[in-house]
Chain A
């Protein structure tokens, strides 16, 4: 467990060994810092910037201008929002269950930010490359459902409660197709470790020779092409995004499970939601779209030797480019598709996605058995 973050902490200590104050810092402070780095340099700024980008994308699609007052082209809008939220009155409705009301946003944020620990941002930049990585990711994001449910109950508002119940039912239901669309990747890679899953989606070493090229898992076989879409749609439902945003359907439930929340508690809910969207997109990227792999290139073995720092930066940019593209599709869908009805939502999950997901798992297993684990790419290239 945690070999990567430990290595990172060790190397941090190594780099600073000669420096006056930093050199004497014990290892556990570095470990703590490297964990904080993930949350504060990635999760929080992403959550903030995503609110700005979301509004800009919305404005573009609706042919408006969008936020443009704070900073150049409105870039600092999220900063202003944060200040506004922090400065707001800390309001708890009378009759609300204070304990639940305070606990709920925390559960949502912990669930979403905890998942950042295992995201493979680059080959050398993983918070903790657990050997149950993808399993951990599914496990830690389940904290979001109780968070929504308890918050909605705690605010003693029937619209909230309806939203919270819808949200929890939706998350619990769509978890199954999501888990079933993760399974084909596990079948292909033979591991739950996300770092290793990503690594296998490029050149695979065979002894001394870099022989086998394994393209993205999405193109491994015909079934995984469907799997990636089920994972995406299921993730969309789990993060309560349109067309599955029934928990906060404005036109029927005021604002759904977060109606009674204001100030920074509302901010935490919004942050949790955006982090969750990022985690979902990163999961799609890492499992099916090759993660940090640059298509057809192996940066570590080229005609020129690149410095390891540059490789890490390229890997990181590649991962972010793919992930943010998926995030963009999520935002794009919001202004394209209408909202589903509750019965349509459940029917779509249990009668639509589930059978296809099962079919994909069995199909991938058969493919692995018939073609001895070779991908379509390898069959075409005659490897």
Chain B
């Protein structure tokens, strides 16, 4: 496995080959954890266990974000998905007893036909885009990626959200506000 770590991580671990291999091992563990947990989420018959492994999958993704130099995203991932989404799912399961007792059956075969149809329609586009992405990644020299990783990204993200991407940002805010008002309206006492 050949990984180009962001410069911050290079600074943190020094140049020692053992250290670098250790870091690669951590990354590999995170990747394995993400994938295995994701598989358990899909295959486990108990929905509560599926949720817990969803939590581990989220954590693994957060670790991968850190290795990609996107530490702000990693923090957001943990706060939103582990601290928010997982807790809400757990609440929903625990407050509806039958959900916990229900045995979920995996219907992988049922999904086969939709899968073929969707892949037939979108597959070429997906493959083309993936190839384009990998081209652009290999076109960016690693030194440049290091420079990007060392930047104070939080400020860049803030400036981007309130600058170039102000309109989508505000659109999302309004959507979330709408969802909030809707939730309160649904939960109002009759």
Q: Which residues of A contact B (CB under 8 A)?
A: 1-3, 5-6, 10, 26-28, 31, 99-100, 103, 128, 130-132, 135-136, 138-140, 142-143, 145-146, 149-150, 153, 161, 165, 168-169, 172, 175, 191-192
Contacts and interface: CB of A to CB of B under 8 A. Distances in A.
B87 A172 contact: yes
A138 B79 contact: yes
A175 B83 contact: yes
B78 A139 contact: yes
A169 B94 CA distance: 13
Interface in B119-159: 152-154
Contacts of B182: none
Contact of A28 (B9, B16, B72, B153): B16
Nearest to B7: A1
Given A131-B71, A161-B94, 17 more contacts: A1-B66, A2-B8, A27-B14, A27-B16, A103-B52, A132-B71, A135-B72, A139-B83, A142-B79, A143-B78, A146-B52, A149-B90, A153-B48, A165-B91, A168-B87, A169-B91, A175-B83
A156 to B, nearest CB: 11
A149 B93 CA distance: 11
A145 B88 CA distance: 11
B163 interface: no
A135 B75 contact: yes
B154 A140 contact: no
Contacts of A130: 71
Given A27-B16, A135-B75, A153 B94 contact: yes
12 contacts: A2-B8, A3-B8, A28-B13, A28-B18, A131-B152, A139-B76, A142-B78, A142-B83, A146-B90, A149-B87, A149-B90, A153-B48
Nearest to B12: A2
B86 interface: yes
Contacts of B13: 6, 27-28, 31
Contacts of B95: 165
A143 B76 CA distance: 13
Among B12, B13, B22, chain A packs the most CB atoms within 10 A around the CB of B12
B50 interface: no
B19 interface: yes
Contacts, number: 102
Interface residues of B, number: 34
A181 to B, nearest CB: 16
Given A138-B79, A139-B83, A165-B94, A28 B22 contact: yes
Nearest to A135: B75
Top-7 shortest CB links A-B: A142-B83, A2-B12, A139-B78, A135-B75, A1-B8, A6-B12, A139-B75
A3 B11 contact: yes
A130 B69 CA distance: 12
Interface in B80-99: 82-84, 86-87, 90-91, 94-95
Q: Per DSSP, are chain A's interface residues mostly helix, strand or loop, or mixed?
A: helix
Contacts of B154: 131-132, 135, 191-192
B47 interface: no
B12 A143 contact: no
A145 B71 contact: no
A5 B12 contact: yes
A140 B94 contact: no
A172 B84 contact: yes
Contacts of B74: 139
Contacts of A31: 13, 19
Contacts of A28: 13, 16, 18-19, 22
B55 interface: yes
B173 to A, nearest CB: 15
Contacts of A146: 52, 55, 82, 86-87, 90
B19 A145 contact: no
B14 A10 contact: yes
A197 to B, nearest CB: 13
A351 B167 CA distance: 30
A26 B49 CA distance: 40
B78 A140 contact: yes
Contacts of B94: 149, 153, 161, 165
A100 B52 contact: yes
A29 to B, nearest CB: 9
B68 to A, nearest CB: 12
A142 B14 CA distance: 31
A238 B8 CA distance: 32
Contact of A150 (B52, B72, B91): B52
Nearest to B73: A132
A27 B11 CA distance: 12
Contacts of A136: 71, 75
Contacts of A2: 8-9, 11-12
Contacts of A99: 49
Contacts of A26: 16, 18-19
A46 B90 CA distance: 32
A132 B78 CA distance: 13
A103 B55 CA distance: 12
A153 B95 CA distance: 11
A131 B151 CA distance: 10
